Structures are given as C-alpha cells and as structure tokens.
Structure 1
C-alpha cells in the first residue's frame, strides 16, 4: 500500500515536471519566434542607420535594437551564429520596422544601401541653380540653401577643413557668392533622409578638394592659384560646345591675358546681369560690373559656374596656338582666328550672312 502511494506521487511529480518543461519550451519557442519577426509590421517608415567599419555582430545587434528594428539583441546574435551568417557590410542603410530579422540581415550582408535622395549636379551650373537642385530633392528651400552657402562662419569652417582649396581669394569684395564654382559637378547619393545642408555642401566641396589635390602640382607649375584655375575653368565650361576643343578655347583666353586684351566672353556678361538667357545683345555689354569682361581686363573676380574635369585640364593645359578670337557657328562648331580681320570675315560668313546672300 505504501509503495503504491509512492509510485503515484513520483508519477505526479514527473508529470508536473514534463508539463513545466513543455510550457517553458513552448514559451521559449513563441518568444524567439516573436523576436525574429518585425517590430512593427505596419510601419514602413525608413530608419537610417550607419554600421561603422569593423563592427562586430554584437555592435550591429546593439545598433539595431537601439533603433527598435529588432526586439532582442541576444536572439539576433544567436540567430546569426546558428545560421552561420557572415559578411556584414559597413556603411549607411535605410531599414524599416516592418522588416523581419532575415530581411534585415540580407540587406546588411548584401550591402543593399537604399538611397534616400540623389543630387545630380551637371557641369556649368551656377550656385543658385545648384541651390534649386538641392531644394527640389530635399525638404530645404532654395532660400535656406543660399543662406547656408553664403554663411561666412560656415565658409570659414570649410576653409579650415580644406585649406588648400578654400582660400582667402573667395572673400574678394566683388564676388557675389564665395562658393561659386566650388561645388563640383557630379552625382551625389545620400543615404540619410535627414542629411543636413552643411553635410550636403561639404560633400560637394570635398569632391572639389580631391580635384585640387590631383592638379595641384600642375597649378604650381603654371603659377595659377586654385581660385584662378577654377575661374578660368568656369569661363571655358560656359563657352564650350559639344563640338569644340576646350584646350583651344583655353589658348585664346591665355593668349588674350598675355597680350593684355580683355577676354570679351559673353557668359561673363550674363553672370554680371544675373540672368539666364540664350544670347547677349549689345546693350548688355554696357553692364557696369567687375564680371563684365568687355569692360574689364583679366579674369573675373571668381568663377561664374562650376566646371568639370575636362575644363580643369584645359585651363591648365592650353593648346599652343596664336588664336585670340573664336566664334560659334549655328551648328555648334567653333571657328578660331588670329586677327580681328579674320574674325570679322568669319562672323560675316558664318553668322551674319551664312547663306552667302
């Protein structure tokens, strides 16, 4: 009788233990399953994160948990270990709370950085046009952008950061905007939708700084400062057509400077007028401005637009010619001449009376 009771008690205890283990196992299963699911399946808002180079799995898990992209960093680490995941990428990522752990891992290991916005800045763009481009692709207004671009305190910060590129020459009293010509033409992807205006500008100036480092020795050989190089390059950029050799245009400008002749280039007049239009008329040439190269000799006080690599190279390496005049035909081809008489004859033939009437 006593033995029978003992067996019943042992059986009851074992049954209870089995139930506890089963319940615990079931709870653990559902907890882990939940931890691997999206933290908010209905939230598709992008969250920007940055994974620093050399981050460990623990570091990555901590970043994800702090941004509420995963529920439990420990489960994430165990999952990565159990699945033998490797190859996490460093960089910027836009993730969502609606993503599960496996989807997050896939993006972080494949380096699928999602671009929040992209700025395409072509060659020959003036600073106000670039400001409009930034405004069109971000939440900032053109006015906000221009205010930042002209902020003396910020420009001094850039000068300290890029001393070879940003020099005191940009503070010439006749310059309209100190950073005109210093925002390099390129395509700029940004991965953080909250990227600040300063960060955007720094990125563009940094690209210019890279070009400066590339051409600095040539500038020194030519005895041309960075500012003068950018200024010359901008004039070439604005005068160039698809069918012209920029090195020849550069030779005309360099030859005129040597002969103490005014450059007489129309884009400088338009810049002086502050207008974007197709052609210059005679009354425009009378505009009173240090940027008017019909009235003033030498280079303009500063760049009149940004310039690409081809124009930089042309500014520093003019072709060896005796040309001091050029004009563009209606088809875009450019005619170069050595004398005023030749220039006037070319104008008569190709511009005034192209059909020989």
Structure 2
C-alpha cells in the first residue's frame, strides 16, 4: 500500500472522528439545553404558584370588607377577590379551588386582609354571615318538572307564572346565560327540548335578602347552585364519556325512578349497561314527560307517543332532562354501580327489583303490576 493511500485513509478517519465528536457535542449541548429549559419552566411554574398562593402583602394587615352575593360561582368570587386586591389572579383561584375540590362557600360579608394566603381566604369564605335576615325563603324539592318549579316560585313571590316562563324562554336571555355559565351550552337551545333550563335549576332551599327579587336573580341563583354542585365533581365530569347535558338528563331519570340512595347508583348502572348494549332505555318517567302528564302507570297507548323524550321509541339518552335532579342523583349518573343488571322494576312501595334477563324482569312485572293498578284506581275514586 502506498504512503499516499495510507495518508488519505488516515485523513478520512480523522475527519469522521472529528465529525463524531462534534455530533456528540451537539447532542450533549442540545440535551443540556432542553434540561435547562425544563428546569426553568418547572422553576418558573413553582415560583408562579408559590407567588399566587402567598399573601398580596404579608406586612399589610389592612381590613378589607368583601361581600359575596347569594349564588356566586367560584369565577365570580375570584373576580371579587381580585378586584378587592386580595388575590393576584381570579382564574388561578378558580382552578385552584377546583384542584383542591373546595366547596361550601357561603354568601355573606367578610373582613379579609392582603396579608392572608389564598388557603386562609378560602377557609374564611366557608363561614360567612348573612348581611341581614332573608326576606324571602322557599325550597324546591328534588325531581320536579320545570313547570312545577315555576309554580312554586310564583307562589312565593309576586311574579306571575306566565312572566317567569316568558323570561326563561327568551332567546336573548338564554344566550346571555350560556355566556355566563360554563355548564350551559347550545344543547339547551335544541328545538326539540321542551324547556331549555329543565334540569339546570338546582333543588334546594333559597334565601333572598330582597323581599321581591327579580326573576333573573332567582333563576341565576338556582343555576349558580347547580354549577357549584357540578364543579365539586369536575374530575368525574372530565372523565365521563357524556356531556354535562347528558349527565343531567340521566340524573333526572334516576331522580324520578329511585327513592333510596343505593338504588340511584344501581339504576345508573342499569342505564349505562343498556346504553352500552345499544338497547332502548325504556323508562316510564320519560313517557310521562313526553305526554306532559304524571302517570301512576303507563299504558300501551302511552308508549306510542312520538316524542324525542320517549325512551320506548328512541334509543340513547333523551334530548334533555325530564326534571331537576339533586346532587345524589347527579353523582350516581357520574359514578354508576358496576353491575350485570339490564332491567329494574320499581314497586309501589319504593322497592326496586333488578334482573339480568327480560324473562325474569317480565315475571317481576307481572307479579307486582297490580300494586300500581290498585293505586291508580284509588286515586280515580278519591
């Protein structure tokens, strides 16, 4: 081999070796750069969170009076606190409250300080005192149809049923509410939905300082309460395959079918099983809602009503809620019992019997159907 060839080979080898060293240096410094960027991001995030949770001014013990109105959402509370100079960022407050699964904030008057941490402020907000005794108090029971809720509001206020209905069905007002509340979406504007706010008026006791609150004040207090309840269970909502609208629809069915808490979760499990099996839900309360009349029992003729609410004619979850569910039914709709049951039958005495097959379910139906027939006959005679 000639000297010139040997020199050429050595030159190529040295060039490749230099290139390999350069490549390793590039990779090393690239990785080092990424690690440094990651450390900076983590450090910056840590400092941001630490700063957001810390007092606005640890040395400032100034007393600041804050008023939290009835029905305030965490978003509204955060805005009030930020505007008062007590927290740095209302959005961070909302997500921190959700992360901590905090709830139970009370309407009332508070004396807070810039020297308080966010956790200290959250603690104080759970112990509010009313500015004065409520001038108006009424309670909405669980499971009522929207028409019944409206009648109760009218009975306790000087508002007329027609005026309330006109307000809550006004397209401009509904769009305003959709912009205001995260739980409200365009689903409520579906033309087939009987009442857009059906299912969103949380059943509870309501206290109002005003003797004659506006219709909007009452309705928004009820929607705010529903949003607060749903946000308590935001983790389950995010994990659910169904939308808020669909969850409230399932919860409203569960509310109408179950009297006991344990039955709510089992019935929810049955509904999920039937949906997974592509079976019709076939629950009687949806037929009553489709007819617009409460029924002790449904007839074969009733089952034929052509309505998107009729789960004996149409598969899947109905177009909207069939009542206003309470928290237990909402949680049951989010967290169904794991079961093999595909059928359930609610007896007149409140007992619910579950079956895996149609044959067993039909036997149960034939055995206890007379209870509902007798109850209906007694009602007709009275």
TM-based fold match above 0.5: yes
What is the Cα deviation at residue 114 of structure 1? 2.5
Find the partner of 2:295 among 277, 286, 305: 277
Q: Match for 1:171 among 168, 180, 189? A: 189
The 8 Å contact of residues 243 and 333 in structure 1, kept in 2 or not, is answered as no
Distance 1:243 1:130 in 2: 23
SS in structure 1 at match of 2:354: strand
Partner of 1:73: none
In the alignment, the residues of structure 2 paired with residue 288 and residue 271 of structure 1 have an alpha-carbon distance, to the nearest angstrom, of 12
Distance 1:262 1:114, change over 3 A: same
Residue 163 (structure 2) pairs with residue 136 (structure 1): no
8 Å Cα contact 2:258-2:350 kept in structure 1: no
Structure with larger Rg:
1
Contact in 1 for aligned 2:309/2:318 (Cα 8 Å): yes
Structure 1 position 129, deviation (Å): 0.6
Residues 122, 186 of structure 1: 8 Å contact kept: yes
In the TM superposition, 1:251-262 aligns within 5 A as 251-262=269-280
Deviation at 1:53, TM superposition (A): 3.4
Secondary structure at 1:282's aligned position in 2? coil
Structure 1: tracts of 5 or more residues without a match: 1-51, 56-88, 92-109
Q: Which runs of 5+ in 2 are unaligned?
A: 1-63, 68-107, 111-128, 373-382
Match of 1:296 in 2: 314
Does structure 1 retain, via aligned residues, the 8 Å contact 2:257–2:346? Answer: no
Greater mean alpha carbon deviation, residues 237-246 or residues 277-286: 237-246
The reply on whether 1:321 has 2:339 as its aligned counterpart is yes
Closer, same or farther: CA 324–156 of 1 in aligned 2, 3 Å = same
Equivalent positions of 1:1-357 (< 5 A) are 53=65, 90=109, 113-162=132-181, 164-242=182-260, 245-352=263-370
1:245: Cα distance to partner?
Answer: 1.5
How far apart are residue 276 of structure 1 and its match?
Answer: 2.4
- The offset of 1:331, in angstroms, is 2.1
Judging changes above 3 Å, is the alpha-carbon distance between structure 1 residues 90 and 270 closer, same or farther for their aligned structure 2 residues?
same
Distance between the aligned counterparts of 2:323 and 2:234, measured in 1?
Answer: 20
2:125 corresponding residue in structure 1: none
Shift in CA distance, 353/239, structure 1 to aligned 2, threshold 3 Å? closer
Query: 1:263: Cα distance to partner?
Result: 0.5
Distance 2:66 2:250 in 1: 43
Q: Distance between the aligned counterparts of 1:225 and 1:90, measured in 2?
A: 35
Query: How far apart are 1:275 and its partner, in Å?
Result: 1.1
| Cα drift, residue 244 of structure 1 | 5.4
TM-score normalised over the length of structure 2 = 0.62
Q: Report the RMSD for the aligned CA atoms in angstroms.
A: 2.2
CA distance in 2 between counterparts of 1:353 and 1:345 reads 14
| Distance in 2 (alpha carbons) for counterparts of 1:221 and 1:111 | 36
Q: Deviations over 1:160-204 (max 9, x none)?
A: 111x20111111121011100000011001111131100110100
The size of the alignment, in residue pairs, is: 251
Change (3 A) 1:237 1:353: closer
Q: Distance in 2 between matches of 1:90 and 1:317?
A: 36
